[in-house]
Homo-oligomer: A and B are copies of this chain.
Amino acid sequence: MWTEIIELQGQLIDAYILPRVLDEIVRSGGDFELERMEFGKRQEDPSHAVLRVMAPSQSAMEAIIRSVRRLGAQVDDEGDAALSSADCDGAFPEDFYATTNLKTWVRSQGEWLEAEDIEMDCGIVVERTPDRHLARCIPMHRVRKGQLVVVGHRGVRVEPLERPKERELFQFMSSTVSSEKPKLTIIRDIANRMLECREKGEKVLLVGGPAIIHTGAGPVLERIIHRGLLHVLFAGNALAAHDIEAAMFGTSLGVALERGMPVRHGHQNHLRAINRIRRLGGIAQAVEKGVLTRGVMHACIQRGVEMVLAGSIRDDGPLPDVITDSLEAQEAMRRCLPGVGMALLVATTLHSVAAGNLLPAHVLTVCVDINASTVTKLMDRGTFQAAGVVMDAESFLREMETCLGPGDVRHEK
């Protein structure tokens, strides 16, 4: 029988960590004895527990430790993380450590290094040079032969997502994606956090689908951008193309936004808009030459919003600004993430899941969609921190603008 002592510390009770650890041990075929247990007298005090864990084999013990560490437990006399040299470009060694989106530390030469650029479903490489000693999270395709990759689970710790008091509303939301809840309070809360982000100098990211334009919410988004409340935009060819269509022809997918009626031959308008931008070389050029004078794209160019337009196989055109290679587009998105404090994912499944894959768990993430299954899908794919609001894009943006209150555009420039 293999035995090991593990220690647990933190909000064992409140965050359900203790029961999950014990559950995990027993399910893995192991057993435990509670050596010591000190409860914090008050909820905010940390608790402390020492467990003697028994397992039928070394590999079973490994499995247990891997599991409980994921829950925040610490194991005595832990060694360094095992490292293995990548034997080819673009793929990890077979037993690479696969990351979560939680804060992660790797022990190397006795030192705990926080992995930089943490992101879901990647691997961790350790760089040791005389100058620097660091751990970095990298996607599979970026690994190069010879890099030192963390393998197995020893010497790796993740920090579980604590339930912060201040995020209570978000917590409530994340458990309930129903369309039958009062939404105004939630939107007010989101608006306040956006204002806070601006105050704290954190960036706000919007990941948006074309329904924002189709439903007539383009002008709302435009005003929010002009108020300096959005700093990064991830979208596809469609949002940009229909926004430009709206600016040039007053339609979106051929439907007149003013009158809500389809326009004769209007379904060609987005093609003509794309074609015109292609003739000019890009969106910025169109703004410069006075061909594009309003809309979301225009506002982004004017306000210097960082923008990644990622291509997809259903694109018409596409616009010259669209990055058609999906790996390049992912990399472009990664470059925008540092400094982002809040992410709004509005009316797009593809781009929301893509952004969700890249966002660290500590970024406040709100997913707005008229279809509850989009939020479910996001969480099924690992973006547990996302809070869902089931409503249409236009109503969401319009009510959020109201909650943001009157803003003086000039002063914010």
Which of B42, B267, B325 lies in contact with A325, CB distance below 8 A? B325
Return chain B residues, CB-CB under 8 Å to A278: 90-91, 140-141
Return chain B residues, CB-CB under 8 Å to A394: 182-184, 391, 395
Q: Does A150 contact B (CB under 8 A)?
A: no
Stretch at the interface among A126-134, A196-204, A294-302, A345-353: A345-353
B215 & A183 in contact (Cβ 8 Å cutoff): yes
CA distance A382 to B186 in the complex (A): 23
Q: Which 3 A-B pairs have the closest CB atoms?
A: A395-B395, A185-B260, A182-B216
A380 & B178 in contact (Cβ 8 Å cutoff): yes
B275 & A92 in contact (Cβ 8 Å cutoff): yes
Within 8 A of B (CB), among A1-54: 13-14, 16, 18-19, 22-23, 26-28, 31-34, 37, 39, 41-43
B311 & A326 in contact (Cβ 8 Å cutoff): yes
Distance between A338 CB and nearest chain B CB, rounded to angstroms = 19
Return chain B residues, CB-CB under 8 Å to A13: 18-19, 22-23
Copies of this chain in the oligomer: 4
Return chain B residues, CB-CB under 8 Å to A325: 311, 324-326
Distance between A391 CB and nearest chain B CB, rounded to angstroms = 5
Q: Does A211 contact B (CB under 8 A)?
A: yes
CA distance A96 to B333 in the complex (A): 34
Within 8 A of B (CB), among A95-152: 96, 98, 121, 140-141
Q: Does A74 contact B (CB under 8 A)?
A: no
Contact flags A261-273 to B (C-beta < 8 A → 1, else 0): 1101101100110
B94 & A185 in contact (Cβ 8 Å cutoff): no
CA distance A14 to B275 in the complex (A): 36
Besides A18-B19, A311-B327, A395-B396, 5 other A-B contacts (C-beta < 8 A): A13-B18, A13-B19, A34-B41, A324-B326, A391-B391
Within 8 A of B (CB), among A336-357: 349-351, 353-354, 357
Which of B16, B274, B373, B382 lies in contact with A179, CB distance below 8 A? B373
Stretch at the interface among A76-84, A251-259, A403-411: A251-259
CA distance A94 to B376 in the complex (A): 40
Contact flags A183-211 to B (C-beta < 8 A → 1, else 0): 11110010000000000000000000011
B354 & A313 in contact (Cβ 8 Å cutoff): yes
CA distance A267 to B210 in the complex (A): 31
Distance between A169 CB and nearest chain B CB, rounded to angstroms = 6
B317 & A326 in contact (Cβ 8 Å cutoff): no
- Residue pairs across A and B with Cβ atoms less than 8 A apart, 23 shown, are A28-B264, A31-B42, A34-B41, A66-B265, A94-B275, A98-B268, A121-B271, A140-B278, A140-B317, A172-B262, A178-B380, A180-B211, A180-B253, A180-B380, A182-B394, A183-B215, A183-B260, A184-B216, A185-B216, A312-B313, A313-B333, A314-B350, A391-B395
